[in-house]
Amino acid sequence: MSGIRAQQKEKTRRQIIDAALGQLSAERSFSSLSLREVAKEAGLAPTSFYRHFSDMDELGLTLVDEAGLTLRQLMRQARQRIEKGGSVVKISVVTFMEFLENNGNIFRLLLRERSGTSPAFRAAVSREIHYFTLELCDYLQQANKLNAEVAYLQANAAVVIVFSAGADALDVDKKEQDDLTRRTILQLRILAEGALAMSSKI
């Protein structure tokens, strides 16, 4: 019952997803991809696409899920490094920037669809970012014994700042990237400092 057929189908589905991911770039957004282009890249007849996805939107949502996975992988990577000691903020930001070098296009997908024209896409991206934020929030709360709301606000602001820096980083050379990293770290420290002060105030 291995299912030769089901296996082959899964493989083709994967090819479609990879074809789409492969076509994403700085110059090419998901919404500018056509069904025919993706099918062609995957080595399929245009109409065969429908055996796997009812339309491009469905594929797009799958890609956003994929991006969410990648984001969690980033988290794990950062955690591992943090356990080995060093500045938490610095390690997190540096890990994120490194991550961008290999996953720029997936990150671009998230950035773009977050403000895209499809409500479903926007919701899906928001959800992924929300999970990401919550994990960070948990961490902050237990590490710094912060007031719950302050911890969430800090986490949210931190994610926003890092994502924005990430977007900028995609457009500049290595040298400027390093400076951007340095500044982002400073921003997160300012934020942390403020959160600590604010939390004890309340």
Partner DNA sequence: TAATTCAGCGTACAAGTGTACACTAGTTTA
Partner DNA sequence: TAAACTAGTGTACACTTGTACGCTGAATTA
Q: Which does 167 bind (CB under 5 to 8 A by kind): DNA, its own copies, none?
A: its own copies
Per CB under 8 A, does 161 bind its own copies? Answer: yes
175 binds DNA (CB under 7 A): no
User: Tokens 């540096």 correspond to what residue?
Assistant: 94
5 binds, among its own copies, DNA, none (CB under 5 to 8 A by kind): DNA
Please count the other Cβ atoms lying within 10 Å of the Cβ belonging to residue 145: 11
134's contact among DNA, its own copies, none, with CB below 5 to 8 A by partner kind, is none
Part of the chain binding its own copies (CB under 8 A), chosen from 8-16, 60-68, 137-145, 146-154: 146-154
Sign of CA dihedral 132, 134, 137, 142: negative
| Residue 65: strand pairing partners | none
Q: Which stretch binds DNA (CB under 7 A): 4-12, 134-142, 169-177, 179-187?
A: 4-12
Q: CB-wise, 6 or 160, nearer to DNA?
A: 6
Q: Other C-beta atoms within 10 Å of 15: how many?
A: 17
Which residue among 35, 82, 88, 167 contacts its own copies (CB under 8 A)? 167
The 31-70 contact track toward DNA, x by CB under 7 A, reads ---xxxx-----xxxxxxxxxx--xx--------------
